[in-house]
Amino acid sequence: MRLDQIFYTWSERSLLGGKGMGPVASSLPIDALSGWDPLLRERVWAGWQEHDRFGLGYLRGPDGHAVICKRPVTEAEGRQASLAHILVGHEINALQALSLHEWDGWLTSWDGTAELAPLSWEDLRHQADKGRHDLVRRARALPPATLAELVAFVLAAPEADVSVVAPPEAPAELLCALVEIMGATTTFSTMESRDDDRGCPHIVFLPEHHESRMGVARRRLRFGGDGGDPFATALAVSYRAEGRTAIDRLRPARPVASVDDSRAWAQKAQLSPGVLDDVAGLLRRAQALSAAELGALRSKHGLAEARRIVPTMDDGELAALLRATALPEEVTELVQGVALRSYLTGHAGERVLEGLAVRPPSAQLLREALKQDPSLRRVAALAGRVLPEPRARRALVDSVARTMSKAELIGWVHEHSAEEPEAARVALNVICDGRERSSEQRRRALDALIARGGLAEAAARLTGSPREATAYLQSVLSVVAGEKIDEGVMAAFLAHPRPSAQLLYALRALARDSRSLALVDRTAWTQFFVQAGLPTPLGARPVATQARAQPRSTEQARPGPSDDLPAPKAERILLVLLFMGVIALLAVVAVVATSGGPL
Amino acid sequence: MSAVLECPICLRWIDWDGTPPVVFGPDDRPEILRKDPREDDVAWRTRLQTAYRPCSGVGSPDSHYLPYDYADYKAVIIGVFGESRSGKSHLVAAMISRLCANDAALRRLGLTVEPLDLRTHQQYMSRTVEPFIRGRRRLDPTQPLPVVFTDALKVTNRDGDAFAVSFFDVAGEQLERSDPEVRFFGSVNALLFVIDPDSIPGLTQPAATAIGDSTFEEALKRLGGRPAPGRQFLHLPAALVVAKADLLRYSFDLVGEWMSRSGPAEETDLSTAEQESEDVYAFLVERRAEPWLRPAEKCYRSTLHFASATNVSATESTYGDGFGQRRVLKPLLALFAMAGVLDDEPMRRVEGGEDAT
C-alpha cells in the first residue's frame, strides 16, 4: 500500500499558493493535493499550549484515508504555530492509524524542501505491528469502568459524533479499545482544542478547557457518570480478559450504527443483564465471575455450553478452571472429568495435573476416567499428585496395573521404577501375583523379563536390601519363568551383561538341574574375577557343592537346585556310544525282519 | 421587532417570532427553554436574557445561535479582513478591550457598551482579551474553524438608539481562498481592512515581495456581488488600518507624529480622521502600496488610520516594556460614525472646514 506524505505549516506561500497555514511539502501531485487540502486544512491546527503533546487524527478523504500527526510549535521569533505531518493512502483502517501513534517517523520540523518521497505500508509495518501490539496491550489494561462508560456512551447513540472531554486515560488506548469492541472503523482525533466545526471526526478528545463555542451538535462525554450500563460493562470486562476475540464472536455482522442496532446487539448478546452469551469467555475468567455470571453458568444453557466448550479447552484453560474456587459444582465436576480424561489419555500435561492436585476428583470420577484405558504412567503420576492417602494411591495403581499384561508391567516397572517408585512397587507386586493364563502371554512375559535383565535393576531400586531384592526376583522369576528354570532359559537370563548378584542368586535358587546350576555358578565365578579386574583363571571351574548356597532370610526363598553332580566327560562319551550301538542293532534287526532273510 | 431576520453567519432567513428560545446545558448542547406556568414574567424575561434563537433546527449541526434579543437592535456587522499574521486578531482584541472599558472618553461620545451575547463575550474576554491585554501574551493564530461572531456587543448612543455590533474575525487563510463556509460577506455592513506593514515592500521587511493583500481582493470581489445603487462604489463604510504602526514610528516621521498622538481624547476625536486618512493614503502611495488602498478606492465612505495593538514587538510569546494600545479605538469609532452608530457630524465638520479653507 502506497502512502503519500504531506507536510503542513505556516509559510508565505504554500504549494497551493496561499499565505498562512498550508501544505509546504508533499509526495502528491498538485492536483491530488488540491483534492485533499479542503479536508486537511481544517484539521491541521494544534491549538493547545502543551508543546510536548501531539494529536493523532484519522480521516476519511476523497481518495482514501489520512492519518494526521499535528503538534504546536514555537517559531524562531517566538510566534506560536502548528505543524502537521500527514500520511494518505487508500486502505488505511482505524487500527492501523492508531498503530502509528508511536511511530518515530513523524516529522516535527520542516527543512524547507517541497518534495517528500512516498512511503509504503511495508516500510512502516514493523513499527506499526509493534505499535499495535503495545497499544492493544495497554488498551486491555484500561480500567473496565472507564472503558464501559465510553462504550455505553457510544452505544447510546452510535450515529452521533462524540467528544470526550478530559479523559482520565490516554485517548489512543481508549480509542483502540473502542474500535476493537465496536468492530467498525471510525474517524477520530486523539486531541483537539475545539470540536465545533462540522469537519470534526466522529470521535475526538478535548482538554478540560477547550475553545469550542456553544451549540455544538455533538454529544460530549465527561467521565465520572454512573457507568452502570450492564452490557457495556460486560463488554469492557470481556475485552480486558480476552481482547477482541470474545467480542468478535458476539458482534453482529452489520456494524452497530443506530440505537436500535445497539439494543438488538445487547439483547442478543446477553444471557442476562450484564452477562454476555459467551460461556467460553465466562469459563476463561472463572476466577472472577459475578453472581449473575455464576448463575448464568449454572443455567441449563450455560451447562450445555460448558459441556460443549470445556472439552475443547487447552491445558492452561483447564488448569485455570480447576483452580477457580467459586464455580458451580456441576461445572467443577465437568471440568474435573474432562481434565482427568485429558490427562490420563495423554492429551493434557503437567499443568492440568497440577490443577487436578488443587481440586482432586471424586472416586467416582476416577473410576469413570479409568475406563479410558489410561497408561499406567499417567495413572501413577495422577495418583501421586491427587491422592494424599497412600493406600488409595496404591489401590488406584493396582487397579490399573491389573488390567495390563505381565509383559507390559515388566516393561513399565523397568522404565519407571526410578521416577514412580511407589507405583512401580505396586506393579511389581502385581507381577508377582499369579501367572499369565495363556502360554502366549507367558512367553511374552518371559521374553520381556529376559529383555529387562530379570528386572534386577528395578528390584534393587525398589527394595531396601539385597536380600529383599533377591526375594522379589525369585518371586518374579518363578511367576514368569516357572518354578524350575532350565538351561536354555537360564542362558538367556545370563546373557545379560554383568548380571547382578541378586539375579544370580535368584536364578541359582530356581535352577532346574545341575547344568543350569553350573551355568549360573560359572557366570558368578567368571563375574567374580571380572569385577575384580582379573581374567578368569584357565581351567578353573567352580566346585558345584561350594556354590549351593541357599537364600536364608527370605520367606520366598526356594529350595536350592538338586545335588546331582555333573557327569564326567568320559562317562558321558561312553553312554553316548552305548546308546548309539543299541540304536544301530535295533535298525539291523528291523531290516532283516522286513526283508525275510536267513534269520 | 422584525418578524423575519437573516442569519448574519449563514444568511438563512429566520422566522424570528416563531423560533423558540434555547439555552445551553453543561455540555453545550442546546435545549429549548420553556416557560414554567408558575413563573412570572419578570423571572421569565430574566431567563430569556441568556437565551438564543437558532437559525435552523435546535441541535442541527448547521444551526447558528443568535442572542434572543438580537432583532431588537439595529445590526452593525463588522467584517475584519487581512492576510494571515497581519495583526487582525490583536487589533480586534485591542479595540474591543478599549470599547468595553466604557471610559470617560467614550461617555463623552455618549456611547454605552454592554455584552449582547453574554456567553460569547465572556468567552472572548477570558480566552483572548484578558490574556492579551492583561497577560501581555501574544495571541495564537486564528484557526480556520467555524465562522461565528468573534464578539457581539450592544452599543447604545447618546440618542438611546441601541445597536447590535458584532465582529467577524476569521483566519486569513480562510478569507484568502474563497472558502464557501465564509458567507458573512452577505451580511456585513461595515468593513475593517488591516494592512500589514511587514508585507509592503520597503517598509519593515527588506525581503517583502507582496503585491497586495489577497484577502482584500477576495472581500471586494465577493462584496461586489451585492445589489447596490451604483456599480462604481460599494455602499459600505470601510476603515483601513495600518497595523503594527509602532514598527514604522521611528522610520517615518509621519507615522511617528500620528503615533505620538494616542491619548484617549485624541482617539475619540473624530475631527482628525480625515487628516489622518489623507496622510495614510499619501504614505502608502508614496511607497507604491496602492494595491493595499483598493478598499478605500472601492468603498463609498472610508477612513485610513495608523494603529498599534501592542506598541512593541513581542519577545517570544509575550510583550515587554512599552506594551500598550495606540490609536486602536479611532478606526472603530470612525466606522461607527459612518455606520450611523455615532453622529458623523464631527467628521463632516472637519471635511467642511477643510473645504472652506
pLDDT in tens, B175-202: 877 666 778 888 899 999 999 999 999 8
**What's the pLDDT tens digit per position in A518-542?**
999 988 888 888 888 887 776 655 5
Residue B63: closest C-alpha in chain A: A215
CA A503 to chain centre: 44
Q: Is the pLDDT score of B2 beyond 90?
A: no
How many angstroms separate the CA atoms of B54 and B10, rounded? 11
**What's the pLDDT tens digit per position in B32-63?**
999 999 999 999 999 999 999 999 888 787 88
Q: Does residue B32 belong to the interface with chain A, where contact is any CB pair within 8 Å? A: no
A215 contacts B24? CB cut-off 8 A = yes
Q: Is the pLDDT score of B228 beyond 70?
A: no
Sign of the CA dihedral running A160, A163, A168, A170: positive
- Tell me the nearest-neighbour CA distance from A59 into chain B, angstroms: 17
Average pLDDT over residues A25-34: 95
Of B293, B77, B89, B65, nearest to B171 (Cα)?
A: B89
How many angstroms separate the CA atoms of A570 and A17, rounded? 129
Query: Residue A105 has what pLDDT?
Result: 93
Q: Is the pLDDT score of B288 beyond 80?
A: yes
Residues 316-345 of B with CB under 8 A from A: 316-317
Rg over CA atoms, chain A: 43
Among the ranges given (A145-149, A433-437, B206-210, B285-289), the one the predictor scored with the smallest mean pLDDT: B206-210
Reduced to 3 states, what is the DSSP secondary structure of residue B9?
coil
How many angstroms separate the CA atoms of A402 and A125, rounded? 61
Query: Residue A539 has what pLDDT?
Result: 62
Residue A45: closest C-alpha in chain B: B143
**What's the pLDDT tens digit per position in A466-495?**
999 999 999 999 999 988 999 999 999 998
Sequence-distant (≥ 6) Cβ neighbours of residue A11 within 8 angstroms = A19, A20, A22, A24
Of A127, A63, A118, A122, nearest to A91 (Cα)?
A: A63
Q: Does residue A211 belong to the interface with chain B, where contact is any CB pair within 8 Å? A: yes
Which residues on B lie below 8 Å from A219 (Cβ)? 27, 29
The phi, psi pair for A387, rounded to 5°, reads -110, 110
Q: Which of B54, B65, B143 sits opposite A45 (nearest CB)?
A: B143
Residue A220: closest C-alpha in chain B: B27
- Tell me the nearest-neighbour CA distance from B250 into chain A, angstroms: 21
Decide if A203 contacts A159 (C-beta within 8 A): no
Query: Residue A541 has what pLDDT?
Result: 58
Decide if B99 contacts B153 (C-beta within 8 A): yes
Q: Does residue A76 belong to the interface with chain B, where contact is any CB pair within 8 Å? A: no
Reduced to 3 states, what is the DSSP secondary structure of residue A165?
strand
Average pLDDT over residues A34-53: 89
Q: Which of A21, A22, A212 sits opposite B28 (nearest CB)?
A: A212
How far from B252 is each of A292, B208, B211, B244, B296, CA to CA, in Å? 83, 18, 21, 13, 22
A211 contacts B315? CB cut-off 8 A = no
Decide if B121 contacts B153 (C-beta within 8 A): yes
Which residues on A lie below 8 Å from B83 (Cβ)? 19-20
Reduced to 3 states, what is the DSSP secondary structure of residue A122?
helix
Which residues on B lie below 8 Å from A194 (Cβ)? 143, 145
**What's the pLDDT tens digit per position in B54-102?**
998 887 878 899 999 999 999 999 999 999 999 999 999 999 999 999 8
How many angstroms separate the CA atoms of A376 and A398, rounded? 9
Residue A195: closest C-alpha in chain B: B145
> Among the ranges A369-373, A436-440, A561-565, B277-281, which has the highest mean pLDDT value?
B277-281
A81 contacts B141? CB cut-off 8 A = yes
Q: Is the pLDDT score of A565 beyond 50?
A: no
A220 contacts B29? CB cut-off 8 A = yes
Percent of chain B at pLDDT > 90 equals 66
Residues 168-207 of A with CB under 8 A from B: 193-194, 196-198
- Tell me the nearest-neighbour CA distance from B3 into chain A, angstroms: 23
Q: Does residue B172 belong to the interface with chain A, where contact is any CB pair within 8 Å? A: yes
Query: Residue A100 has what pLDDT?
Result: 95
Q: Is the pLDDT score of A549 beyond 80?
A: no
B141 contacts A196? CB cut-off 8 A = no
Number of CB atoms found within 10 A of residue A410's CB: 28
Residue A17: closest C-alpha in chain B: B177
Among the ranges given (A233-247, B34-48, B235-249, B336-350), the one the predictor scored with the smallest mean pLDDT: B336-350
To the question of pTM greater than 0.80 for the whole model, the response is: no
Decide if A245 contacts A180 (C-beta within 8 A): no
How many angstroms separate the CA atoms of A413 and B2, rounded? 107
How many CA atoms lie within 13 Å of A485's alpha carbon, on the beta-carbon side?
Answer: 35
Residue B140: closest C-alpha in chain A: A80
Single-letter amino acid, residue B11: L
Percent of chain A at pLDDT > 70 equals 92
Query: Residue A96 has what pLDDT?
Result: 93
**What's the pLDDT tens digit per position in A291-310?**
889 999 999 999 999 999 99
Reduced to 3 states, what is the DSSP secondary structure of residue B5?
strand
B317 contacts A215? CB cut-off 8 A = no
How many angstroms separate the CA atoms of A182 and A250, rounded? 11
Best interface-test mutation with B: which of A14, A39, A42 has the largest number of B CBs within 10 A? A42
- Tell me the nearest-neighbour CA distance from A109 into chain B, angstroms: 18
Q: What is the grid cell recorded at A579?
A: 546308546
Query: Residue B18 has what pLDDT?
Result: 92
Which residues on B lie below 8 Å from A77 (Cβ)? 314, 316
Q: Does residue B28 belong to the interface with chain A, where contact is any CB pair within 8 Å? A: yes
Q: Is the pLDDT score of A462 beyond 80?
A: yes
Single-letter amino acid, residue A356: L
- Tell me the nearest-neighbour CA distance from A98 into chain B, angstroms: 25
Q: Does residue A217 belong to the interface with chain B, where contact is any CB pair within 8 Å? A: yes
pLDDT band at residue B227 under the 50/70/90 scheme: low
pLDDT band at residue A218 under the 50/70/90 scheme: confident
ipTM of this model? 0.86
Angle at A390 between CA A386 and CA A392, to 5 degrees: 70
How many angstroms separate the CA atoms of B156 and B165, rounded? 10
- Tell me the nearest-neighbour CA distance from B156 into chain A, angstroms: 26
**What's the pLDDT tens digit per position in A84-141?**
999 999 888 999 999 999 999 999 999 888 899 999 988 888 889 999 999 999 999 9
Single-letter amino acid, residue A359: R
Q: Does residue B183 belong to the interface with chain A, where contact is any CB pair within 8 Å? A: no
**Angle separating helix axes A329-344 and A315-323, nearest 10 degrees:** 140
- Tell me the nearest-neighbour CA distance from A140 into chain B, angstroms: 29
Which residues on B lie below 8 Å from A222 (Cβ)? 27
How many CA atoms lie within 13 Å of A499's alpha carbon, on the beta-carbon side?
Answer: 31
Q: Is the pLDDT score of B268 beyond 70?
A: yes
Residue A210: closest C-alpha in chain B: B127
Sequence-distant (≥ 6) Cβ neighbours of residue A570 within 8 angstroms = none
**What's the pLDDT tens digit per position in A54-97?**
999 999 998 899 999 999 998 877 788 899 999 999 888 999 99
Provide the b/e sequence for A460-473 (b: ≥16 CB within 10 Å): bebbeeebbbbbbb
Query: Residue A544 has what pLDDT?
Result: 44
- Tell me the nearest-neighbour CA distance from A165 into chain B, angstroms: 10
Number of CB atoms found within 10 A of residue A543's CB: 10
Sign of the CA dihedral running A27, A29, A30, A34: negative
